[in-house]
């Protein structure tokens, strides 16, 4: 891990800016999976006022809360970022153009353009006198050469360098991590950076090409169950390994990190390593069926093995993700099943 930074003095005029703050907590990407859950969690804890921002129109948000300041804005535009940060005290920047492996391997330029969001949001946060800025990074910052076997060692934070991250998406995240660091060093902006590892749960994408493995496998198993065609397509040979973190653990870790004094990037992810075949086993058990498996060896697979080393988060935050994969997958499966079976849930869940 790179040495902890020493914040520079606050920029001139910071006290004047502080007097104009309305205390808003900004969540960008609020119409997405993690962002929607984060807004829900902040509301439940009495935080606020909450300013929820996403590029999508409100009817496409996964969760919408009418008592929040909900805004449709394209944060690749600097003026939109300035408006978003005006008067705010905290920013949770989760906005990004991203998806599962099938998306990020075929949309590298689109993924990298998220640096516009991160750059403009950091500039706007500094100019608005924001007190603390959270950036959602990813395990995709870690080098491919540390993840080329199914039994690869769990990734610790210092493993990010020498750098060779996931092409496109990973470079965007790693660059933005450094940008957060230098905004702290040069401008005194307090930043917190989480390297998320494969977050999953209900109220998220499960079809359309941007879904990640847990949701995709739930969808495939449910489709097989509902259709009676008991077979499933699996990308790769199914022996690639991953760890998957349930959304509640993600929110808990995010909250602890934001409240901490930790300025360096830190893993927030489960260390429960499983193969994709094992993940399919779990979902089959939930569904009560057994499927014939068809392996698609030419499909996008990502790295061969990836797991989170949680030594640092236990040491610094005295906590680590702990929700069992079986428990989280059951909740996720049930939510997707209700959607696919034609239940009453619309795309935007309003609370």
User: What is the pTM assigned to this prediction?
Assistant: 0.89
Q: Give the active site residue among 142, 145, 161, 169.
A: 169
Provide the β-strand partners of residue 93.
28, 135
* Coil, helix or strand at residue 179: helix
Question: Which CATH architecture does the domain made up of 22-200+245-268 adopt?
Answer: 3-Layer(aba) Sandwich (3.40)
Per-residue pLDDT tens for 79-105?
999 999 999 999 999 999 876 667 767
Whether 7 shows a pLDDT value over 80: the answer reads no
Mean pLDDT to the nearest integer, 166-183: 96
Per-residue pLDDT tens for 208-252?
888 889 999 999 999 999 999 999 999 999 999 999 999 999 999
To the query of whether residue 200 is one of the catalytic residues in this protein, the response is no
Q: What is the DSSP letter of 291?
A: -
H helical segments located in 7-142: 14-19, 33-44, 78-85, 101-104, 108-112, 114-128
Instruction: List the domain boundaries for the chain.
Output: 22-200+245-268
Q: What are phi and psi of 267, to 5 degrees?
A: -65, 135
Per the model's pLDDT, the better-predicted residue between 101 and 344 turns out to be 101
- Average of per-residue pLDDT values in the chain: 90
Mean pLDDT to the nearest integer, 284-309: 94
Per-residue pLDDT tens for 44-80?
999 989 999 999 999 999 999 999 999 999 999 999 9
Take residue 22 and report the two structure tokens written for it: 């309305």
């Amino acid at each position: 891990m790179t040495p902890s930074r020493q914040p520079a003095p606050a920029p001139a005029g910071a006290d004047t800016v502080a007097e104009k703050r309305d205390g808003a907590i900004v969540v960008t990407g609020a119409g997405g999976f993690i962002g929607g859950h984060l807004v829900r969690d902040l509301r439940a804890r009495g935080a606020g006022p909450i300013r929820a921002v996403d590029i999508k129109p409100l009817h496409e948000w996964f969760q919408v809360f009418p008592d929040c300041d909900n805004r449709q804005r394209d944060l690749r535009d600097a003026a939109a970022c300035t408006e978003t940060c005006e008067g705010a005290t905290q920013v949770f920047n989760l906005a990004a153009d991203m998806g599962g492996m099938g998306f990020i391997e075929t949309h590298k330029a689109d993924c990298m353009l998220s640096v516009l969001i991160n750059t403009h949001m950091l500039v706007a946060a500094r100019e608005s006198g924001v007190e603390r800025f959270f950036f959602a990074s990813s395990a995709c910052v870690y080098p491919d050469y540390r993840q080329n076997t199914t039994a690869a060692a769990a990734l610790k934070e210092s493993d990010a360098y020498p750098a060779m991250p996931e092409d496109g998406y990973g470079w965007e995240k790693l660059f933005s991590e450094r940008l957060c660091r230098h905004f702290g060093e040069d401008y005194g902006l307090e930043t917190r950076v989480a390297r998320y590892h494969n977050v999953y749960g209900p109220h998220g994408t499960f079809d359309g090409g941007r879904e990640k493995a847990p949701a995709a496998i739930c969808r495939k198993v449910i489709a097989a169950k509902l259709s009676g065609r008991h077979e499933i397509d699996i990308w790769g040979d199914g022996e690639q390994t991953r760890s998957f973190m349930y959304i509640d653990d993600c929110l808990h870790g995010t909250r602890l990190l934001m409240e901490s004094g930790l300025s360096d990037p830190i893993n927030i992810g489960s260390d429960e390593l499983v193969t994709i075949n094992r993940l399919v086993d779990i979902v089959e058990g939930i569904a009560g069926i057994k499927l014939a498996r068809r392996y698609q060896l030419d499909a996008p697979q990502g790295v061969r093995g990836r797991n989170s080393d949680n030594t640092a988060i236990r040491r610094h935050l005295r906590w680590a993700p702990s929700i069992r994969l079986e428990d989280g997958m059951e909740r996720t499966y049930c939510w997707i099943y209700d959607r696919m079976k034609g239940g009453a849930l619309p795309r935007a869940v309003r609370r």
